[in-house]
A and B are shown apart, each in its own frame.
Chain A
Amino acid sequence: MGNVMMAVSRTKVTAVTNLAALVEHECTNLLILYRKQENLPEDMESDRLVFISHPSSQLDTKSKLQSLHTGLGKCYSLLERAIALEEEELDGVETTEYKNTRGRLKGELLNLLKSTGGLLKAAGGKPIKVLDDSEPYQPSNLFHLKLWVYSVLMEVKFWSSTAIALLRELQAVAAKEPPKKSKKSTRSTRR
């Protein structure tokens, strides 16, 4: 992990961590708004939609970042599809807080995706293109669409939380590495 931190400044990792926290916060708000708008019960379960191995299951930093980046990419594709389906099937004409928050989340998630792509690149990995080649979801009825949208939002929240955890792990590892000592300062201490 330290290799990544050598290539990327700690400030950059901190910034990406903050971005992930922003996405998670925005997504939490959106879920609250969605539950309220749709009168959904608090204890409603969601389906998993992103089937990618969790970063924690990977051994090295590059693989962890790759896994995270891929997961966030899938989330972004799902969110795009969810927004398109909602606009096509459900949306009214009025601008609502839910719609505004949803738009913000999409933008912030894209930023996070690009930022994790930058970290992955620094770690020697290859960022994915934001393209989802899987079969686009077609709901059998509108209630299933609503459940699916809920699952998408839950997935975004899960992966943003995962991003926060992984990036903090990177920061912690970097903090343990001893600071580099310059020869000049070493000499100056010897007398």
Chain B
Amino acid sequence: MPRLLNILTSKPNCGPVWVAFVLLGISVLNSQAKIVLTVPQQVSLSANFFSQQLTISWFGGEATTFDLIILRTEFNETVFYNTVPAVMNQDGGRHQWTWTSVEPLECTSLSVKIRSRDGITKSEWSEPQILKGRDLPSNSVQQVYPQDKVVPVGGNTTFCCIVEEGNEFRDFLYGSIKMNVKRLSRRSYVTTAVNQNLSGPTGTNVLCRLKNKLNGSVIFVGYPPLPTNFECITNDLTSAVCYWDGGRVTNLYAKRKTSYSINKRDCPDGKCVLPEWDGNWTLLAVNPLGQYSLTYSAELLHRVVPVAPVNLSATDDAWNTTVNWHWPYSSYNTLALLCQVQLASHNILLRNFSGVGLQSVFLPHLHPNTKYRVQIQCGSLNHFLKWGNWSKEFNFTTKSYVPEAPDVWMFVNRDNSVRVMWKPLTQWQSHGVLTGYEVTLWSLEENENQTNNLSPKDNSLNLTDWASITADKKAIASVKANNVKGMSQPSSIMLGLIDDKCAPLAQTIYTSSGFPLSWQHSDNSTGGYLVEWCEAVCTSDCAVDWIRLDAGSTHVSIKDSIAPSISVNLEINQQDCDVVLSWEEIPLAGRRGFLLGYKVYRVNNFSNFTLLDDLSPEMRTYTVKDLSTSTYKFTVKAYTSAGEDTGGTAAITLKQCADGLILEILTSLGIVTLLLTTVSCFCYKKRRWVKKAFYPDIPEPKLPGDWSRTQGPMDVKPFPHSMVHIIEKPEWDFSKDTLVIIPEEEDYEGEGIGDEPVDTDEPQLLRYYNQVVDERPIRPRFPDSSVSSSSSVDSANTDVTYTGIQTSHSSLVFPSDSQGFSEGFQPHSGLSLSSRNKGEGYHPQMHSVTLGGNLASPEPIVEPHAVGSEGYKPQNSWLLDSPTEGDENSPAPSLGSPTSVASTQFLLPDRERHEEKRQQPSSAANWFTNLLSSAKP
């Protein structure tokens, strides 16, 4: 220190530097003392299990940030670790942080630790605070969280299942979907449903299945409310009625459904009545997923919608009426109203009326004795918003009135008698129920009256008695209609012949507007015109119609009373492949005009018409040619200058016509022929393959000589592995006709029978039968008991059959003996070895085979019973597959062990004769067989 001081005093120039160092050192020491951060104290946890939020609060000293770590207590897994800013709580100076957990807070225990941080400086961790989960051993039951939660569509929800103590977790199902799970603790498993769709009305069940227990939770997935079209009106000028649409369906029901309130008054769905007109309204829609509000403002008089008028009544009259009603609210008395009256009888009329407090309307221009229906709706006249509701329908009937005078005319019949006619009064003209007509005839010269009362149904009166009078003298007919209200005014006509000097119209043209008629104006005509018409083809009591025209008229178009058109009566028939349409002439009375012709249409699908031809009016038939087999529909329409009639339609289903049938037969035959040719060519080209696949060579014993040509001894080259015995006809000279046995040099390796002892008493024979084979493709090995028993006796015998079909007679040649053949063939079923018969019957292919290489004798061993047999003996025949079979010395390689094979081949010595006699295959089979035979090299 003194030295220091010395330094300081000896070097006064360096003093400030040292002072600076000292100060710096002191400040560093001070600063180091400041960054010692305090460990957060009094950490406390507050959990909101519904919102899955954990609020952590602590005292943290001066630190500005804190590290916060949350771990799952049991597995010590970090759930949250972050640095959070220090947010000071207002009361008490505690810091606070709220963390929202993905998993429900009940799932497992959580540990929370905090430390203060200032830059890289941090304090020690606080002591862990633990939020206890529901998976503690003390709570041993099975639980699922969260329960009864409501979430929006598209959200994710994590569920946890706390397994019952001692039980075993099986799976988690969301609805019917098996979920992936994660383990949070020894007993707690979680799963998360992502992007959730709308749940069912009763929620989606989340099942937690244990080994032998089930628990779960229900979750509701929906939308927050979104009402629309909110408005308020008034009906009574006092209260407010507010309406709105629910908008999008929230999919939340029962306790979770949307509740509505207007200006804090609870309202039912869609409509709310408020006792006062507030002028401003706020609709608030709330459900568990959120809330939505709509506002509306309006003045009272701008939103008036009157209610429906009530108690309608009418004061009846014949030609008009006054409809009265009442309003349920007295406030309407001062309201300017616009009312719409709907008056309906044969047609519907709408008439508008207005007035202050309108309560009645006068409806003029009605018809007497007519039933009317009336309804009324009203709106505000000054600020029309919309019509109010229609009133209930009110019916009334106007009173009756005297009828109108009928329109009277006269018609001169063909017998020159006169008929007084009048047009029947329509409902509008009768003014009530008609009771009859009164016709009064008045002869002017004789001043004679005659009155006729007719029924309401009558509309003419024949004046047969008055014919002479009317012919020569003037008379007047007067007609009056009568109803309950009295007589109509009389309608009169002067009876007499009419001087008709006008040339009749020869022809007129009908158009859609009727028959237009025109004439020259006559200056002499001052009283007007009357156009009369009737059916030209009518002979008696014709329906006559007329029309009255003014004096200046020169033309008229007659629409009514034209006879309806009659369509052609179409007949349809098939002629070969053609369709003939025929029809009769349309009767004159049924024509609307002068026929110009007939149009023939074909009706396609969807009632489209295709014009086939336009025929002259004289044509009565039409032939549609070249149609294929199908169903057709035709329409023939007659037409005039005005257009076509509705037409006559007929349909026909064409049967197969002869030409087509022949063509189809020829085509089919051609196809079959082509197919057969193709198959034949293919078979010929691939004959080797076909033969190998379906018709393999059957090995045959190799004979040293040609049996067919010589009667000498048969030299059969025996199969190297066996000995062959030839059974020959007894008539044969055995010294000559014997098989030459070539001893086998190699041991026979049979199929399990080689070990059995050879029965020396029963010579080991390969009996060589040219047999009648069972025609079944595959015979049972032992077709009957006799064969079976024989087989059992001779255990070394092997049943040899053939798998191939052999037709090459050159492969085995027998000495020809027609007698033997003729006697030899017997049905196979008649065979019995035990009979040891005379050799006449069929012999099965039972062959004794000598096993091993030591053949008994080079001489043929003749079976005793076979010696005495007569006739043909079916025999075994082995054909060599190899083309080298002709080599006598070479062993036939294809001749293996005498396995059981099935033969479908007759092995015949006399091929020509025997073929003709015994073989009965089809010609096609012969052809095929020959083809294969010819293919054999």
A91 interface hit (Cβ, 8 Å): yes
Asked whether, in the complex, the Cβ of B201 is within 8 Å of the Cβ of A142, the reply is no
Asked whether, in the complex, the Cβ of A88 is within 8 Å of the Cβ of B205, the reply is no
> Would you list which residues of chain B between 163 and 215 have a CB under 8 Å from chain A?
173, 175-176, 200-203, 205, 207, 209, 214-215
Knowing A142-B147, A143-B216 touch, does A94 contact B201 (C-beta < 8 A)? yes
Give the docked Cα–Cα distance between A35 and B175 (Å). Answer: 11
> Could you say which residues of chain B place their CB within 8 Å of the CB of A81?
none
B253 interface hit (Cβ, 8 Å): yes
Among B144, B209, B253, the one with the most A-chain Cβ atoms within 10 Å of its Cβ is B253
B535 interface hit (Cβ, 8 Å): no
Give the docked Cα–Cα distance between A14 and B207 (Å). Answer: 43
Asked whether, in the complex, the Cβ of B148 is within 8 Å of the Cβ of A142, the reply is yes
Q: A32 CB to closest chain B CB, in angstroms?
A: 16
Knowing A39-B175, A39-B176, A142-B148 touch, does A90 contact B214 (C-beta < 8 A)? no
> Would you list which residues of chain A between 89 and 106 have a CB under 8 Å from chain B?
89-94, 96
Asked whether, in the complex, the Cβ of A91 is within 8 Å of the Cβ of B201, the reply is yes
A37 interface hit (Cβ, 8 Å): yes
Tally A residues with Cβ within 8 Å of B: 22
B217 interface hit (Cβ, 8 Å): yes
Contact with B along A37-49 (1 / 0, CB 8 A): 1111100110000
> Would you list which residues of chain B between 139 and 167 have a CB under 8 Å from chain A?
144, 147-148
Identify which of B201, B205, B216 contacts A92 (C-beta below 8 A): B201
Whose C-beta in chain B lies nearest to the C-beta of A92? B201
Q: B334 CB to closest chain A CB, in angstroms?
A: 43
Among B209, B214, B255, the one with the most A-chain Cβ atoms within 10 Å of its Cβ is B214
B773 interface hit (Cβ, 8 Å): no
A87 interface hit (Cβ, 8 Å): yes
Identify which of A39, A40, A91, A143 contacts B253 (C-beta below 8 A): A91
Asked whether, in the complex, the Cβ of B205 is within 8 Å of the Cβ of A39, the reply is yes
B254 interface hit (Cβ, 8 Å): yes
> Would you list which residues of chain A between 135 and 184 have a CB under 8 Å from chain B?
141-143, 146-147
Knowing A37-B202, A94-B201 touch, does A87 contact B254 (C-beta < 8 A)? yes
Identify which of B173, B214, B218 contacts A142 (C-beta below 8 A): B218
> Could you say which residues of chain B place their CB within 8 Å of the CB of A146?
202, 205, 218
Asked whether, in the complex, the Cβ of B144 is within 8 Å of the Cβ of A143, the reply is yes
Knowing A141-B147, A143-B147, A143-B215 touch, does A90 contact B254 (C-beta < 8 A)? yes
Q: B179 CB to closest chain A CB, in angstroms?
A: 13
> Could you say which residues of chain B place their CB within 8 Å of the CB of A143?
144, 147-148, 205, 215-218
> Could you say which residues of chain B place their CB within 8 Å of the CB of A37?
200, 202
Whose C-beta in chain B lies nearest to the C-beta of A86? B202
Give the docked Cα–Cα distance between A147 and B207 (Å). Answer: 11
Asked whether, in the complex, the Cβ of B202 is within 8 Å of the Cβ of A92, the reply is yes
Asked whether, in the complex, the Cβ of A88 is within 8 Å of the Cβ of B255, the reply is yes
> Could you say which residues of chain A place their CB within 8 Å of the CB of B215?
143
Size range of the interface on B?
Answer: 20 to 34
Give the docked Cα–Cα distance between A146 and B217 (Å). Answer: 10
Q: A83 CB to closest chain B CB, in angstroms?
A: 13
Give the docked Cα–Cα distance between A96 and B201 (Å). Answer: 11
Give the docked Cα–Cα distance between A45 and B214 (Å). Answer: 9
Give the docked Cα–Cα distance between A88 and B202 (Å). Answer: 11
Asked whether, in the complex, the Cβ of A90 is within 8 Å of the Cβ of B147, the reply is no
Asked whether, in the complex, the Cβ of B253 is within 8 Å of the Cβ of A142, the reply is no
Q: B167 CB to closest chain A CB, in angstroms?
A: 14
Give the docked Cα–Cα distance between A88 and B215 (Å). Answer: 22
> Could you say which residues of chain A place their CB within 8 Å of the CB of B217?
141, 143
Q: B677 CB to closest chain A CB, in angstroms?
A: 64
Asked whether, in the complex, the Cβ of B253 is within 8 Å of the Cβ of A92, the reply is yes
Q: B144 CB to closest chain A CB, in angstroms?
A: 7
Q: B180 CB to closest chain A CB, in angstroms?
A: 18
Among A91, A94, A142, the one with the most B-chain Cβ atoms within 10 Å of its Cβ is A142
Give the docked Cα–Cα distance between A143 and B145 (Å). Answer: 11
Q: A36 CB to closest chain B CB, in angstroms?
A: 10
Asked whether, in the complex, the Cβ of B214 is within 8 Å of the Cβ of A41, the reply is yes
Knowing A38-B202, A41-B207, A146-B218 touch, does A91 contact B254 (C-beta < 8 A)? yes
Q: A97 CB to closest chain B CB, in angstroms?
A: 13
Asked whether, in the complex, the Cβ of B148 is within 8 Å of the Cβ of A141, the reply is yes
Give the docked Cα–Cα distance between A87 and B254 (Å). Answer: 7
Give the docked Cα–Cα distance between A154 and B175 (Å). Answer: 22
Give the docked Cα–Cα distance between A114 and B205 (Å). Answer: 37
> Could you say which residues of chain A place their CB within 8 Å of the CB of B200?
37
7 more A-B residue pairs beyond the given contacts A40-B205, A87-B254, with a C-beta to C-beta distance below 8 A: A39-B207, A86-B202, A89-B255, A92-B202, A93-B253, A141-B218, A143-B218
- Shortest beta-carbon contacts, A-B, top 9: A92-B201, A141-B147, A142-B218, A92-B253, A90-B202, A143-B216, A39-B176, A142-B148, A143-B218
**Residue contacts A-B, CB under 8 angstroms, 22 given:** A37-B200, A39-B173, A39-B175, A39-B205, A39-B207, A40-B205, A41-B207, A44-B214, A45-B214, A86-B202, A87-B254, A88-B255, A89-B255, A90-B201, A90-B202, A92-B201, A92-B253, A141-B147, A142-B147, A143-B205, A146-B205, A146-B218
Residues of A within 8 A of B (CB): 37-41, 44-45, 86-94, 96, 141-143, 146-147
Residues of B within 8 A of A (CB): 144, 147-148, 173, 175-176, 200-203, 205, 207, 209, 214-218, 253-255
